[in-house]
Amino acid sequence: MKSIDIREYHTPANGIFFKAKRRLLSERSSCQKIEIFDTEFFGRVLMLDGLVQTTIKDEFFYHEMLVHPALLSHPNPEEVLIIGGGDGGALREVLLYPVKRATLVEIDGRVVEVCKKFFPWLSLALRDRRVKLEIADGNQFIREPNRMFDVILVDSSDPVGPSAILHQREFYARLRECLKSGGIVAAQAGSPLYYLDHLRKKVAFLRRLFKFAFFYLGPVPTYPGGLWSYIFLSDKINPLRIPKKEPSAGLRYYNLDIHRAAFALPEFLSKHLL
């Protein structure tokens, strides 16, 4: 069987490519084009509108770094909200904690249905009695009354196109209103190589909204640039104080040494973001 070449361009002159054994699914939902490929090295790959979202081989880098710095730093995370994350990786990590409720809000219900079939951790997570699935626009969801959470995780797409609103000041101001006392927001913030100007603008308004607003880093081999940035936001919890709790057993990337190191920014970032 002839292999399939998959190319994702990060600029007109560079990007990433995969050799796929076969295309498992290709369809267009009401929101976007959804594709699943079975690749030779990374295993199953989810692509939305031609951009890699998750792969079997390296998803743990991203999901562990999005979830565990916040969940481990909070003394008692009972109510957790995940905005985006229809592939279920962030939800799987949240359920490692004794939370009372994990609410997953995904705008594209078809992504959830597809991922339940091709990424088995999602089906398992959705069977957990603590999980509440909402097919809804996350930006609208947080505007409804009585939405209060200990931790909010924003597992959005990059700050371009329809997801751009999830990276703006108004959205984060509303997230702050949805936090219980001592609450934490953690969000993916994109490639520091490709989105440095955007990160510089974002940090300016985030530090006016939250007492503690820190960027931190982690590798994701299949994401643009291979290095990914995240934001940790809180009015009471300083992530530079190493959590006293131990991480869950069985993690493949995150540990307390990684937590400490992730908040140390390289020079090209620190001069813009500190």
Can you give the residue ranges of every domain in the chain? 4-55, 59-273
Rounded Cα distance between 202 and 207, Å, is 9
In this structure, what DSSP letter does residue 147 have?
A: -
- Best CA proximity match to 187, nearest among 90, 92, 117: 90
At residue 215, the pLDDT reads 96
Contact 153, 81 (CB under 8 A): yes
- Mode of pairing for the β-strands spanning 43-48 and 101-106: unpaired
Catalytic member of 38, 155, 197, 235: 155
Written as tens digits, the pLDDT of the chain (274 aa) is 678 999 999 999 999 999 999 999 999 999 999 999 999 999 999 999 999 999 999 999 999 999 999 999 999 999 999 999 999 999 999 999 999 999 999 999 999 999 999 999 999 999 999 999 999 999 999 999 889 999 999 998 766 665 677 778 899 999 999 999 999 999 999 999 998 988 998 899 999 999 999 999 999 999 999 999 999 999 999 999 988 899 999 999 999 999 999 999 999 998 877 6
Does the annotation mark 155 as catalytic? yes
Q: Which residues contact 143 (CB under 8 A, 6 or more apart)?
A: 174
Domain 59-273 listed as CATH 3.40.50.150: yes
At residue 274, the pLDDT reads 67
- How is residue 126 written in tokens? 């959705």
At residue 163, the pLDDT reads 66
Rounded Cα distance between 80 and 35, Å, is 29
Rounded Cα distance between 262 and 250, Å, is 20
At residue 2, the pLDDT reads 79
- CATH annotation of 4-55: 2.30.140.10
- How is residue 14 written in tokens? 């560079």
